[in-house]
Amino acid sequence: MSAVAHPTGRQASCATVDDVYRRCRELGMRLSRQRRMVLDLLWAEKNHLSARDIFEKLNNLGRNIGHTSVYQNLEALQSAGVIECLDRASGRLYGYRSDPHSHLTCIDSGAIQDLDVQLPAELLRQIETHTGYAIESYTLHLTGRRRRPC
């Protein structure tokens, strides 16, 4: 059995920050200065960040935004399905992708990488036969250690 994985950046499905502004407008969401700051940071970092990380990074960049505003904007964007939210034991993490994708977590550093993994059709068919469900999407959570420096 083989699965295909490629790093995120090469995927055509990755929307740009302008696409996301447009999506927010279509959803009738107001694009306040603070909301744009949060979106710009998530798209620049392309990582999974806590509300505190985002608050600290924005303030380090000299952006004047309160912790409550960061938190409220993240919640609004997440509940509208514009950004992703991962519930981890250490708290919630927010990411820039909202399409289904998989994650690889480093056991040593805790760093989380987005992955696009396609399971073989045969395996999906076996799961459908076994469960009686038609699979519509899936997300894999992989953990591992770096074998060699890249």
| Residue 48: CB minimum distance to Zn ion, A | 6
Sign of CA dihedral 8, 11, 17, 19: negative
Looking only at the bridges linking them, the beta strands covering 112-118 and 102-106 are antiparallel
Residue nearest to Zn ion (CB): 95
| Residue 62: CB minimum distance to Zn ion, A | 27
Closest to Zn ion by CB, 29 or 115: 115
Residues 46, 84 contacting (CB under 8 angstroms) = no
Closest to Zn ion by CB, 65 or 93: 93
Looking only at the bridges linking them, the beta strands covering 141-144 and 102-106 are parallel
Q: Which residues bind Zn ion (CB under 5 A)?
A: 95, 114
Closest to Zn ion by CB, 111 or 135: 111
| Residue 16: CB minimum distance to Zn ion, A | 17
Closest to Zn ion by CB, 42 or 95: 95
| Residue 27: CB minimum distance to Zn ion, A | 20
For residue 35, give Cα distances in angstroms to 32, 107, 110, 148: 5, 32, 27, 39
